[in-house]
Amino acid sequence: MYATLSKKKATYIRQLALKKYRLERASFVLEGKKSIQALLASHYTIQCMVGTSSFFIENQNIFTGLSKNIEIFEVPKEILTQLGSLSTNHEVLAVATIPLPTEPCLSPLNITLALDNIRDPGNLGTIIRIADWYGIETILCSRSTVELYNPKVLQASMGSFVKIKLHYVDLPRYLQNVKLPIIGAMIEGDHLHDFSFPTQGVLVIGNESQGIHATIKQMFTHAIAIPRYGNAQSLNAAIATAVVCDNWKRTLQKS
């Protein structure tokens, strides 16, 4: 038998849908069974979990070895839906603590992503998932890039956010001191399929409509472009990231 959710705790959880409260309380809400399974296996501190009785009955194995400090509440699915941002969440949500920021540490043996002014939450979440797919461990974000713990970012990342080190930095200033190749994805760059990728470096992806900031462009060692064979004016940031990462990784596998 699990605890009953108080009105005060319910209010606290609902308020975390807003960035203001997430920052004040250094906490965020994560929804969905698969994402929470990834959270449980990560370094994140979980404050509480809220789920339906059917979820707890069907997933007792998830809670094996859980810390006793995690509060667990049982609620009807209607209440669960009201607490979170997903109308389709009829299983479980968790409240976790936002860890303190750390200094970026770029791997000399891997690609690092740098995101300039990515504002769409779905794009950021998908890019995080793409990074996880291609074994990219670090993402640098400009301070104007959407917040990691936005519910739509977390949803789109499908749990991959726990495996990626994401840092918000003054991107132009940070890149000034990077000694690795800095490669920008741009419409006017060199043909992607003819480009000789280095074994390591930083890949810069910009805002879909505004592109990459002029100050950052000055730091590029190379600019590359995805060839267009049709009539679309642009690709969104996540798709562009996937295309370039796939070509980069494929090239390295052949070398």
Residue among 173, 106, 111, 115 at smallest CA distance from 142? 115
Structure token digits, residue 15? 């308020």
Average pLDDT over residues 132-158: 97
Q: Is CATH 3.30.70.3280 the right assignment for the domain spanning 111-254?
A: no
Q: Taking 80 as the threshold, does the pLDDT of residue 79 lie above it?
A: yes
pLDDT band at 88 (very low <50, low <70, confident <90, very high): confident
pLDDT in tens, 189-208: 899 999 999 999 999 999 98
Which pLDDT does position 177 carry in this prediction? 93
Start-end of CATH 3.40.1280.10 domains in the chain: 111-254
Per-residue confidence band for 244, with pLDDT thresholds at 50, 70 and 90: very high
pLDDT interval class at 112 (50, 70, 90): very high
Residue 176 neighbours by CB under 8 Å, 6+ apart = 219
Q: What is the pLDDT of residue 123?
A: 97
Q: Where in the chain is the domain with CATH 3.30.1330.30?
A: 7-97
The percentage of the chain sitting over the pLDDT mark of 70, rounded to a whole number, equals: 96
**CA 220, 131, 39, 50 torsion: positive or negative?**
positive
Fold of 7-97: 60s Ribosomal Protein L30; Chain: A; (3.30.1330)
Decide: helix, strand or coil at residue 138.
strand
